[in-house]
Structure 1
Amino acid sequence: MARPARKGPPDLARRIKSAPPAPARPASRGLPSREQLIAFIAEQGGKVGKREIARAFHISGADRVELKRALHELQEAGVVDRRGKKLGRAGHLPSVVLADVTGRDDDGELIAQPAEWDEDEHGAAPRILVIVPSRGRQPGLTPGVGDRILVRAEPTEDPEPGDPSHQGRVIKILSKQSARVLGVFRALPDGSGRLVPVTKREAGKELTIPADATDGARDGDLIAADIVKQGRYGLPSARVREKLGSITSEKAVSLIAIHAHAIPHVFSRDALAEAEAATAATLKGREDWRTLPLVTIDPVDAKDHDDAVHAEPDLAPDNLGGHVVTVAIADVASYVRPGSALDREALDRGNSVYFPDRVVPMLPERISNDLCSLKEAENRPALAVRMVFSKDGRKLRHSFHRVMMKSAAKLAYAQAQAAIDGAPDDATGPLLEPVLKPLWDAYAALKTARDARGPLDLDLPERKLVLKPDGSVDRVIVPTRLDAHRLIEEFMIQANVAAAETLEAKRTPLVYRVHDAPSIEKLEALRELLATLDLEIAKSGNLRPAHFNRILERVAGSDNASLVNEVVLRTQAQAEYASENYGHFGLNLRRYAHFTSPIRRYADLIVHRALIRALDLGADGLPDGATPQSLGEIGARISAAERRAMAAERETVDRLIAHFLADQVGASFSGRIAGVTRSGLFVKLDDTGADGFVPIGSLGKDYFVHDEGARSLTGSATGESFRLGDQVRVKLVEAAPVAGALRFEMLSDGRQEKPVGRGKRGLRRASAAAGASKSRGRSPTSRAAGPKKPGKGKGRRS
């Protein structure tokens, strides 16, 4: 989703000019000047690191230390950005960009901005002048305002002030979206109606629809409308363009998100025809593994099973106490061929989308729930990896195989865990000794290695909505996190690593799952907050997840545990798909690729095809024309699709919870402050996890000052302070179910005991609290603002 532009981003020349001068270095060392370094990094388009720079400028020995220091200074000054081990010009765009057309310039040329851009880390999003190839200047292929496009971007040479910093040649138009408003139609007695918007941002901003513009819409219909008149006074007028369904239906809430985010949810005729025509795979070209007792372990309500596991002791004399772990994954590549209708549909969707009340699958059910699902006691094609681990969990070797398998059992997480814990049932009893215990023994070894590796270990419980038959919320639960979940998750991670290692060794292009280290700006904000809690994190050096884990361990079980886990999460970059590898920071892995869920993630299908090609396992592998550049384009598309799915899933949960709480207006709830802004506080309720907003104007008559570093609002007269992570009690005063918005009133005062750090902010807050009076007041200004998968345990988006 494109971020709004903000003023004040310095261009490159201003960054260089404003950067602090570097200390003079001896010319005899032959180090490049700052200008030479910046120019070289910019020319390479973000594809060089310290090693490549040292090679280009013939830097060796002790000079490498000076080079590292010089690059660190440029990064601190904001002149260059780091992406994993690679450096690029600050604000630099990759060569292939997913962008949204946002408007036109004074000459009528289209202007776009990157669809994914972190303003907090890189400043305002760069503007891109859209260049349409001559072949594209025909109806239906020329982009317009509101369209999402894929462009090949390059910096503009010597742009004039105010001109776009980049130009982008259109590769493909991904979606054409004319301006529209999505909402619920409310009929009025005179035949006209009102449109109630479905987004939090537009909550309360109704539109009027004349009687002759309703297109037969009925009360409660979800509609798309065009704004036809917007004067200075009165409500804007709109015309119904499309009726999308009834808000009273069981799956209406997810329907809103599907249309609001333009998620493809109806398969094309060609894709469905291909799926129905598909026939079961045969043994030809496959190893016969049907006697190996692989089992699937999934949520109890899972409809597709894309992975199966097996483990046994390694009997090799040189690996006593070791384990052989096998992970078999549904062979989707044998049914979904490159360039087919099914393939085009899967790429367009990018991934399956999991709502509480439905799933929008990436592939038709004939493929996902039937031919590719690893059903119990049925022959199924799979791509399997056999991994050998030492007794301390180190992977010694691995190999990939294209096989035919037959699942020995379909197990649920709780069912498998119960068997291990001493309560087997009829299904797990016979499997306990030969299948389940070897799995848990292997996991114990892998856990030892995982603990030594030290991935980021956040403690953030995931809530699950339990729905009634009518699609409304029955209750909200926090499922217990079992070793069965952790076992499958760790086995999948190891399989993903093996896939990336194999493809790198074979020099075959692939789509990596990458996760960058936190930006300097976010780390500084985190340090500032931790200082108020008498906690600190390393200021420099090679920051690793272990540094965060030590902080998390210190606060475990304390009142600040929830706060610290939340802010550490917010400090992290967002994982994405890319053809360039810069590692996975959160998992603390040098190379990582998604391989284990091709039924529901297109990235995994790409990796399967790459393995088939690299290991000569069939004719349905990655096409010869696949290059890092073309896979980079795919990575950009599916990363955007993933973000789209996450937003749609989150908004659907918000709407369902708002419906659930709508009849409890006036009730009080306990919760924690989950966000602090100049406009007010976001509060997350303890029982349901629902998010609501407390406007600053409702806090009292005092003037509340926003301290961004301490994440707090503090009354200037009373010293009352509301801070991120505080436990509070609020009253629900308004619920907007259609928009998923809740508004609260604060019942707690800001004088409860809070941990006060020894830093300057902590002392200021303590001083203010000591002089606080009992009077409460109202802020002189009141600004309106709105509040901010279920899947498989192994399906967390790492």
Structure 2
Amino acid sequence: MPRFGPPPKGHRARAKPAPLPTATGTPGELPTLDALRVFLSKAKGKVGKSDISRAFGLTTEQRPALRALLSEIKANTPADVAQAVIQHGHLPDTAVVEVTGTDPDGDPIAKPLAWSGEGRPPIIYMRAEARGQPALAPGERVLARLKPIGAGKYEGRTVQRIPAKSPARILGVFTDGKIEPTDRRHRADWIVPPGESLGAENGEIILAEPLPGAHFGPRPARIIERLGQMGAPRSVSLICIHTHGIPDTFPAAALEEAARATATPLATREDLRPTPLITIDGEDARDFDDAIWAAPDGTGWRILVAIADVAHYVPPGSALDREAQLRGNSVYFPDRVVPMLPEALSNHWCSLVPNEDRGCLFADMRFDASGKKLSHRFGRGLMRSAARLTYEQAQSHHDQGTDPEGVPPGHIATLYAAFRALLTAREARGTLELDLPERRVTLDAAGNVTAITPRARLDSHRLIEEFMIAANVAAAEALDQKPCLYRIHDRPSDAKLEGLRQFLESLGMALPAVDRMLPRDFQRLLDQVQDKPEQRLVHETILRAQSQAAYDPDNIGHFGLALPRYAHFTSPIRRYADLFVHRALLDALPAEESARAKEIGEHITGTERRAAAAEREAVERYLAAHMATRVGSMFDARISGVTRFGLFVTLVENGATGIIPLASLPDDRWQHDEARQALTGRHTHLTFSLRAAVEVRLVEANARTGGMVFHIMQGVPARKPSR
């Protein structure tokens, strides 16, 4: 008999199930993998096969096929699928995570496999495994139970390990039957069983792959490639190339195409050979793909920027084109370059060497006296560089009022006068100029580091930058109604701006209202700390608050340069984006390539970031090798990072960065104040805060990993004698 009224005491009412999301696709037809993933990502709560069948209108006969689909999804995201879906802005109680490394105490750090929130995904600190279980290694994926422990931080406990579909490769140094990984975050132990060493000798850099083995103790691995001795010339860049998966050998078809290249004929090109175009590059530049010229034009200026005509030598769909797109860009190390194009092109036919005819694509621009562009046109030409200058040489000629051989009298002065007009326009629109000097690594003939010094920042550098920016803007404007890969740079996110605001407030500085932030507002902040001790730290913090630039066919402008339209046009030897833009300007962009512009932009954005990481890591490794001879020495430093596991410091002398482990600080209970960026001792009341000046001693410098460890010497209170 039905019961009316409230349920009897002690009766638990069944919870009403959450409504299912709308399924996409034709009712009664088995959903695609993508449609099923979308459905599961939108579902609230637990979803069973019956719920899925009902939502998609499936029959009982279709159940086996549905189970196969779910199994395929679980192969990539093994776990209770509904629980593994990560909602926007926060993590569920249980999710699949990937181990990315370890903190200095050796505890694994992970990230969620999927993240839809704003900004970077949260950091997950994984709890230690049960005794006897092997430690989690970078790249491993596990189903983890998560608990929030602070803003953007979670604690994770392993529920189930997820077998890798394909074993990751190990890059390391072979020593006494073991492999010492070159990645400082990789703490797993690897052994090489007899017969699996490929004849490797102690001290060799090797590539290996894991072998099936026991779950306890060191893991077995097979060496699959020998890469040369650690410490030998070029070993540092070799490690970085392999660590980041940078292609460094060209297929035979691409080399054959490059070898068939010949000189560019004049034909229908505009003859620019009488125009004294010159190149200005770094002393260690390996290719010269841009040349400049300027002359007075009424009360303003006419500026010519000529760029190597790479499109002439690299037709769409060719083996050269496929390889260039795969690489995305050239990668520059202190001892070598991994070029986007074979040397027959990058160092010869597409390099604007002096006194030789070269095909070019040029931007002919006119500006008024205040640097405002009045007009531009693009064309194909044949040029002959009048001189190759370094930045230092160009600056010296300007300062002394001289000109190099082969250049008309007064030409260098004319270039600088045109530059000052462009600089006036730049200052008027209010751009962001972060002054973070690059470090130059100087090597001797044997490949040993002789010096690491900041690269000078001269007006000649800024001159070339302004000429190139002007040409890039003109290219973007010329392609306004055509396919284009824009160089975009979004404004900082609100979350990053709020973090920056808190940091600046600790310095007594104020950030303008978030909704009205402009590049010139950041510049005013930088002007306030000019020549002050905190100058470098403020520059670095503002840089970290910025969004990353990218390539995209959808234009949102360039925030940092305060430009509504911007594209890369000036370096097609070393950037595929510029080659894409050249083809678009020449109406030589295939429809298929235009249709793939979004995909190409995402790919080359990724290769650019990969290159930047590899180049930065190479400098760090060279610096560690250089500092290894100074272990035990004392240095002046500033605290550049504060974490729960210790302090990061940057040396005043050469910008070297390393860690001061928490365990090396005075014996105390250290409390991490994230808002104030400080570590404070509960008993000693000693505080170490961001930007504080300290004296440190170098205790370890590891060229294999690039890591450095310091101990703090200044500010440590004297201990009371024990009774």
TM-score band, normalised by shorter chain: 0.7 to 0.9
Post-superposition offset of 1:306: 0.2
| CA distance in structure 2 between the partners assigned to 1:326 and 1:361 by the alignment | 27
| CA distance in structure 2 between the partners assigned to 1:394 and 1:740 by the alignment | 46
The residue type paired with residue 210 of structure 1 is: P
1:179 corresponds to which residue? Answer: 168
Give yes or no for the alignment of 1:605 onto 2:572: no
1:227 to 189, 195, 210: 210
The residue type paired with residue 262 of structure 1 is: G
CA deviation string 1:656-701 (max 9, x = no partner): 1111112322211122222221111111122222211111121112
How does 1:132-531 map onto structure 2 within 5 Å? 178-186=167-175, 188=176, 193-202=177-186, 205-228=188-211, 231=214, 233-315=216-298, 321-422=299-400, 424=402, 428=404, 431=407, 433-504=409-480, 507-531=481-505
Given that residues 387 and 406 in structure 2 are in contact (C-alpha distance below 8 angstroms), is that contact kept between their aligned partners in structure 1? Answer: no
Given that residues 420 and 432 in structure 1 are in contact (C-alpha distance below 8 angstroms), is that contact kept between their aligned partners in structure 2? Answer: no
| CA distance in structure 2 between the partners assigned to 1:517 and 1:448 by the alignment | 23
| CA distance in structure 1 between the partners assigned to 2:286 and 2:292 by the alignment | 18
Q: TM-score, with normalisation over the residues of structure 2? A: 0.77
Given that residues 276 and 408 in structure 2 are in contact (C-alpha distance below 8 angstroms), is that contact kept between their aligned partners in structure 1? Answer: no
| Gap change, CA 1:659 and 1:730, over 3 Å in 2 | same
Give yes or no for the alignment of 1:556 onto 2:554: no
The residue type paired with residue 517 of structure 1 is: R
| CA distance in structure 2 between the partners assigned to 1:587 and 1:102 by the alignment | 45
2:701 corresponds to which residue? Answer: 735
2:78 corresponds to which residue? Answer: 105
CA deviation string 1:150-204 (max 9, x = no partner): xxxxxxxxxxxxxxxxxxxxxxxxxx97412110111x3xxxx11110001015x
Q: CA RMSD in A?
A: 2.8
1:623 corresponds to which residue? Answer: 590
The residue type paired with residue 489 of structure 2 is: H
| CA distance in structure 1 between the partners assigned to 2:117 and 2:208 by the alignment | 31
| CA distance in structure 2 between the partners assigned to 1:450 and 1:102 by the alignment | 53
CA deviation string 1:347-374 (max 9, x = no partner): 1110000011110000001111111111
**Secondary structure class of the residue paired with 2:516:** coil
The residue type paired with residue 373 of structure 1 is: S
Given that residues 146 and 178 in structure 1 are in contact (C-alpha distance below 8 angstroms), is that contact kept between their aligned partners in structure 2? Answer: no
Post-superposition offset of 1:112: 11
| CA distance in structure 1 between the partners assigned to 2:656 and 2:593 by the alignment | 44
Given that residues 280 and 388 in structure 2 are in contact (C-alpha distance below 8 angstroms), is that contact kept between their aligned partners in structure 1? Answer: yes
CA deviation string 1:189-245 (max 9, x = no partner): xxxx11110001015x44221232212111122111122256564322222122223
| CA distance in structure 1 between the partners assigned to 2:698 and 2:115 by the alignment | 34
Given that residues 190 and 218 in structure 2 are in contact (C-alpha distance below 8 angstroms), is that contact kept between their aligned partners in structure 1? Answer: yes
Given that residues 571 and 578 in structure 2 are in contact (C-alpha distance below 8 angstroms), is that contact kept between their aligned partners in structure 1? Answer: yes
1:578 corresponds to which residue? Answer: 552
Given that residues 419 and 429 in structure 1 are in contact (C-alpha distance below 8 angstroms), is that contact kept between their aligned partners in structure 2? Answer: no
1:759 corresponds to which residue? Answer: none
Given that residues 296 and 407 in structure 1 are in contact (C-alpha distance below 8 angstroms), is that contact kept between their aligned partners in structure 2? Answer: yes
2:88 corresponds to which residue? Answer: none
* Largest Rg, 1 or 2: 2
Given that residues 729 and 747 in structure 1 are in contact (C-alpha distance below 8 angstroms), is that contact kept between their aligned partners in structure 2? Answer: yes
2:671 to 705, 711, 724: 705
Which structure has more RCO (C-alpha within 8 Å, separation ≥ 6)? Answer: 1
- Range that drifts further, 518-527 or 678-687: 678-687
Post-superposition offset of 1:722: 1.7
| CA distance in structure 2 between the partners assigned to 1:232 and 1:683 by the alignment | 38
| Gap change, CA 1:214 and 1:714, over 3 Å in 2 | same
2:570 to 571, 583, 596: 596
- Structure 2 residue runs of 5 or longer lacking an equivalent are 1-17, 20-37, 39-73, 86-95, 99-111, 124-137, 141-164
Give yes or no for the alignment of 1:718 onto 2:692: no
Post-superposition offset of 1:146: 8.4
2:119 corresponds to which residue? Answer: 121
Given that residues 185 and 219 in structure 1 are in contact (C-alpha distance below 8 angstroms), is that contact kept between their aligned partners in structure 2? Answer: yes
2:507 corresponds to which residue? Answer: 533
| Gap change, CA 1:278 and 1:429, over 3 Å in 2 | closer
CA deviation string 1:745-775 (max 9, x = no partner): 111227xxxxxxxxxxxxxxxxxxxxxx876
**Secondary structure class of the residue paired with 1:742:** strand
| Gap change, CA 1:404 and 1:116, over 3 Å in 2 | farther
| CA distance in structure 2 between the partners assigned to 1:258 and 1:593 by the alignment | 28
| Gap change, CA 1:378 and 1:117, over 3 Å in 2 | farther
Number of paired residues?
588
Post-superposition offset of 1:432: 6.2
The residue type paired with residue 529 of structure 1 is: F
Given that residues 401 and 413 in structure 2 are in contact (C-alpha distance below 8 angstroms), is that contact kept between their aligned partners in structure 1? Answer: no
Give yes or no for the alignment of 1:672 onto 2:645: no
Post-superposition offset of 1:116: 11
CA deviation string 1:710-757 (max 9, x = no partner): 22222233332222222221111122211111111111227xxxxxxx
Given that residues 666 and 732 in structure 1 are in contact (C-alpha distance below 8 angstroms), is that contact kept between their aligned partners in structure 2? Answer: yes
Identity of aligned residues (%): 47
1:72 corresponds to which residue? Answer: none
Given that residues 328 and 604 in structure 2 are in contact (C-alpha distance below 8 angstroms), is that contact kept between their aligned partners in structure 1? Answer: yes
Given that residues 645 and 662 in structure 2 are in contact (C-alpha distance below 8 angstroms), is that contact kept between their aligned partners in structure 1? Answer: yes
How does 1:42-61 map onto structure 2 within 5 Å? none
How does 1:622-661 map onto structure 2 within 5 Å? 622-627=589-594, 629-661=595-627
Post-superposition offset of 1:423: 6.5
| Gap change, CA 1:246 and 1:692, over 3 Å in 2 | same
| Gap change, CA 1:481 and 1:347, over 3 Å in 2 | same
Given that residues 466 and 473 in structure 1 are in contact (C-alpha distance below 8 angstroms), is that contact kept between their aligned partners in structure 2? Answer: yes
CA deviation string 1:43-89 (max 9, x = no partner): xxxxxxxxxxxxxxxxxxxxxxxxxxxxxxxxxxxxxxxxxxxxxxx
